[in-house]
Amino acid sequence: MDMIRNTMHFHSGLARLFYSLVYCAVLLPVACLSLACSRQESRVVSGIRTGDLYLGNGVEPQSLDPQISTGVSELNIHFALFEGLVRPSAVDLSPLPGVADRWSVSDDGLVWTFYLRRDARWSNGDAVKAGDFIFAWRRILSPKLGARNASLLFVVKHAEDYQTGRLTEFAQVGFSAPDSFTLQIHLVKPLPYFLNLVMHPAWFPVHPGTIERFDAAEKRTSAWTRPGNHVGNGPFMLKEHRVNDRVVVEKNSYYHHAASVKLNRIHFYPMEDRNAEELAFLAGQLHATYSLPPGKAPIYREKKDTRLRLDPYLGTEYYLLNTKVKPLDDVRVRRALNLALNRELLVTRILGGGQQPAYGFVPPGTAGYKPQVQLAENLAEAQHLLAQAGFPDGQGFPPLELLYNTSEINRKTAEAVQETWRKNLGISILLTNQEYTVYLENRRLGNFQLCRSSWIGDYVDPDAFLCLWTASSGNNYSGWSATAYDAAVTAANATPEPTTRTQHFHDAEAILLNASPIVPLYHNVSAYLLMPCVNGWKSNLLGWPDYSAIELMHR
């Protein structure tokens, strides 16, 4: 899943006023939870009384349609508005009953049967039925919709054929409903992580009547996602959406476990400016930040500030190379870029937030996976490869543009890499930052040479990362693919025996790194601030939230 940071623009005068007010607030020696902080209640204090949780949420949501969006900021909201067949444990991501209260699998591992609870309801009171799931899966697989996460359903019999247009009869795809509360899914092959896969929002149901009312079955944008129109089946329902300001959800009384949900509302704030977000937290305006400014984690850690959270996170930050443009069509140039980087210095001196240098694409420890191929710094080899490609000491090398979406950490990373490549290879890199939606569209269309990207696993398995670079992946924007690579990934997923399966994944990653359509930078850590009054907040490798377990309490 894409993890992308957007930008929020302030008029300079208002921004200076905001910083001045917040600066004054954080200088006060009284803790933010004290009513003496201000003559006006802070959000953190009032939230305890009213049951309102205030969260920083990175960027403006690309869409509130779970079958369209691919970003983490959207996913955070989807888990409030929708529920799938099973839901993830907030502690270890193990599958828990969701709309399905039980399930079974055939002896050969190919047919999964889910039994839906009879009390599951949409936020308008309609019963959630098996046909609602099949309607949603037909929609996400529709070739006209162009859903980027449709590939997450390709494990189902004939799903890929239908999505690519090779099959026109959806009835032949491996979904069936023996009755209104029973679902059967027929897989292409046994899949050990299938229950983890169906937790992803790409598998969430959508309300058929609402989609049809707004003619949204094959449209990427429509009015169905607006407040007053939106219908979900999760613990919360959409109350308000002000673009580049906030998304507010409120408790859904029709949710089957509504009695156990302690929060009344959640307010999601898109705040790309990490310094502004941190200051808002310190002024008592947020219960939790989405992230931290670069270099701030060590400061909080040194002070032993208990509000600092450094959670493991299954993700990789990397630069995407457009292999269809010169000179990046030359594998020697791409490998030179990789081998000329000192990733250890990048994460320690520039980032300082606990990130791990990435010498491969799959994060170490992903379901026990240990990378065997590494892109360790080798400056002599990098310079030799560049000379072989016709650019000794960088002579004659054309300036390349590195595109990134606006964010302080993206800028600092880009500047560090720019200087490293100038110093080590003698090449010139031009930096261009763009607003989130513009950046996304240019990346999708291939209007870039180098492009900042990040990938968060959709499930805890090496396939969640390596499937990204197959020829059929809707998220492979590199222009690179290889038959041998696809065959290795396919072989891994057709092999139940763990040792052989892992070896196939090692083979695939070796092909990927040797071809170098990407420059891995670091493996993520989730660094953020959390108020002590937030009770029941749990962390996991994917950062998937369980809002129904959260309660605000005085500490």
- Secondary structure, 3-state, 207-242: CHHHHHHCCCCCCCCCHHHCCCCCCCCCCEEEEEEE
Query: What's residue 415's pLDDT?
Result: 97
Assign 432 to helix, strand or coil.
strand
Integer distance in angstroms from the first to the last C-alpha of the chain? Answer: 35
| Residue 8 near residue 272 (C-beta atoms within 8 A) | yes
| Residue 357 near residue 343 (C-beta atoms within 8 A) | yes
Query: What's residue 495's pLDDT?
Result: 85
Choose among 265, 268, 236, 243: nearest CA to 46.
265
For 202-217, the pLDDT digits (tens) are 999 999 999 999 999 9
At 363, list the tokens.
Answer: 């994060």
Show Cβ contacts of residue 383 under 8 Å, excluding neighbours closer than 6 positions: 336, 340, 393, 424, 425
Query: What's residue 447's pLDDT?
Result: 96
CA distances from 55 to 87, 89, 246, 285, 308 (A): 22, 21, 10, 9, 15
Torsion over CA: 85, 362, 143, 215 (sign): positive
Q: Identify residue 79 by its one-letter amino acid code.
A: F
Task: Establish how many alpha carbons lie within 13 A of residue 39's alpha carbon, considering only the half-sphere containing its beta carbon.
Answer: 0
CA distances from 38 to 267, 277, 369, 395, 539 (A): 21, 19, 51, 61, 32
Query: What's residue 3's pLDDT?
Result: 53
| Summary count for the chain: helices (H), strands (E) | 17, 18
At 418, list the tokens.
Answer: 């720019």
Assign 551 to helix, strand or coil.
strand
Query: What's residue 1's pLDDT?
Result: 66
Q: Identify residue 81 by its one-letter amino acid code.
A: L
Radius of gyration of the chain (CA): 24
Query: What's residue 408's pLDDT?
Result: 84
Q: Identify residue 30 by its one-letter amino acid code.
A: V
Query: What's residue 13's pLDDT?
Result: 39
Q: Are strands 111-116 and 182-186 parallel, antiparallel or unpaired?
A: antiparallel
Query: What's residue 2's pLDDT?
Result: 63
Query: What's residue 39's pLDDT?
Result: 61
The whole-angstrom separation of Cα 121 and Cα 210 is: 14
Query: What's residue 371's pLDDT?
Result: 85
For 120-152, the pLDDT digits (tens) are 999 999 999 999 999 999 999 999 999 989 999
Q: Longest C-alpha distance within the chain, in Å?
A: 70
pLDDT in tens, the chain (555 residues): 665 433 333 333 333 333 444 444 443 333 444 433 446 899 999 999 999 999 999 989 989 999 998 888 999 999 999 999 999 999 889 999 999 999 999 999 999 999 999 999 999 999 999 999 999 999 999 999 999 899 999 999 999 999 999 999 999 999 999 999 999 999 998 888 899 999 999 999 999 999 999 999 999 899 999 999 999 999 999 999 999 999 999 999 999 999 999 999 999 999 989 999 999 999 999 999 999 988 899 899 999 999 999 998 999 999 999 999 999 999 999 999 999 999 999 998 888 888 999 999 999 888 889 888 789 999 999 999 999 999 999 999 999 999 999 888 899 999 999 999 999 999 999 999 998 889 989 999 999 999 999 998 888 899 999 999 999 888 899 999 999 999 999 999 888 888 999 999 999 999 999 999 999 999 998 999 999 999 999 988 899 999 999 999 987
The answer for 265, left when phi > 0, alpha when psi is -120 to 50, beta otherwise, is beta
Torsion over CA: 242, 247, 251, 257 (sign): positive
The whole-angstrom separation of Cα 463 and Cα 488 is: 11
What is the value of pTM for the model shown?
A: 0.79
